[in-house]
Amino acid sequence: MSALTLTLETLESLLPVVRPGVRLLGLPTERSAKKRLPGSADEVLKLISSILGGMLEGAISSRTAPEFQAAVADAFPRYVNLVMAFAKVASATVRPETIARLSSESFSELEADIREHGLASFGSAMRERALFTVWTLRETSELLEILSRESLEDANQRQKDGEFCERFGMFALWARFHVDCLITSMRTSQALYPDILPSIDDGLRAAVDAYAWAKQAVELRMSEGDSSQTEQDWTNEDQAWLEDSMSDMDSSDGVA
């Protein structure tokens, strides 16, 4: 059993269903937050960012894969609680359109930081993987706009939708955690030990799973009452493209 599967199974009861419209993927960076967030939400973000920073610095200081996986298993439940706490404060104090702008700005800032500092911090292969992961999370975030606008009438479909959203939430947060590990490495100039890079890479791959579950939730709304067609549409139209993208990176890097 992989570390990813083990951790997600262990933490499943801790992860709430992601509510449509709450932009967990585009957690605002401090730069974008200063432009948009009211004082109360900004103070909460600064406090959470400080706690998360210390937590992530501890994880990325691991020298071996087992040490890193143990540190992640300890930190991830607290990471989830902190991110969800901020999401609740933001959704209660900030207008949805502002959250959408913050999300877009934050993704742009993350991409710019990775492009500028990623090569020196963790090499070209991991930089490209990180950029692809942030791009995939951005695409997934766009799907949340559809989920926030469209509701389901059929009770069975709503139950299935809840299951899709729960799985989406687990994989999205798992991927974002590992992106934040890389961001913390860049911002603190803390080099990553080579033995933990494959574990980080494995965590980044969860972004593809998050996209798949969000896509299926969208497809439920596009063809309500035909869930079998929903899954077939995903398999034929999306999965091969995403897998090819990841495979192309694997063929040119040393992290697999």
- The domain locations on the chain are 3-8+24-100+107-250
pLDDT at 22: 47
Q: Mean pLDDT across the stretch 207-212?
A: 90
Region 234-238 average pLDDT:
50
What does DSSP assign to residue 63?
A: S
Q: Which of 237, 242, 204, 243 is nearest to 218 (CA)?
A: 237
Region 10-36: mean pLDDT is 54
What's the gap between Cα 245 and its chain centre?
18
Kindly provide the b/e burial profile for residues 214-226, where b requires at least 16 CB atoms within 10 angstroms of the residue's own CB.
bbbbbbbbeebee
Question: Which of 68-77, 144-153, 162-171, 215-224 shows the lowest mean pLDDT across its residues?
Answer: 144-153
What per-residue confidence (pLDDT) applies to 201?
Answer: 94
Share of the chain above pLDDT 90, in %: 24
Least confident stretch, 30-39, 49-58, 119-128, 167-176: 30-39
pLDDT band at 33 (very low <50, low <70, confident <90, very high): low
- Is it the case that residue 25 has pLDDT exceeding 70? no
User: Which residue type is seen at 151?
Assistant: S
pLDDT of residue 156: 73
Q: What percent of the chain has pLDDT over 70?
A: 68
pLDDT score of 238? 54
CA distances from 100 to 104, 124, 221, 246 (A): 6, 30, 21, 27
Q: Which region among 29-33, 77-81, 151-155, 245-249 has the lowest average model confidence (pLDDT)?
A: 245-249
Kindly state the average pLDDT of the residues 120-134.
Answer: 92
Of 88, 93, 85, 127, whose CA–CA distance to 110 is shortest? Answer: 127
More confident call, 69 vs 245:
69
**Any idea which of 69-78, 134-143, 207-216, 226-235 has the lowest mean pLDDT?**
226-235
User: In whole angstroms, what is the distance from residue 73 CA to residue 70 CA?
Assistant: 5
pLDDT band at 68 (very low <50, low <70, confident <90, very high): very high
Give the residue from 75, 74, 86 showing the smallest Cα distance to 23: 86
Pick the range with the lowest mean pLDDT from 6-15, 106-115, 144-153.
6-15
- Res 244: pLDDT: 52
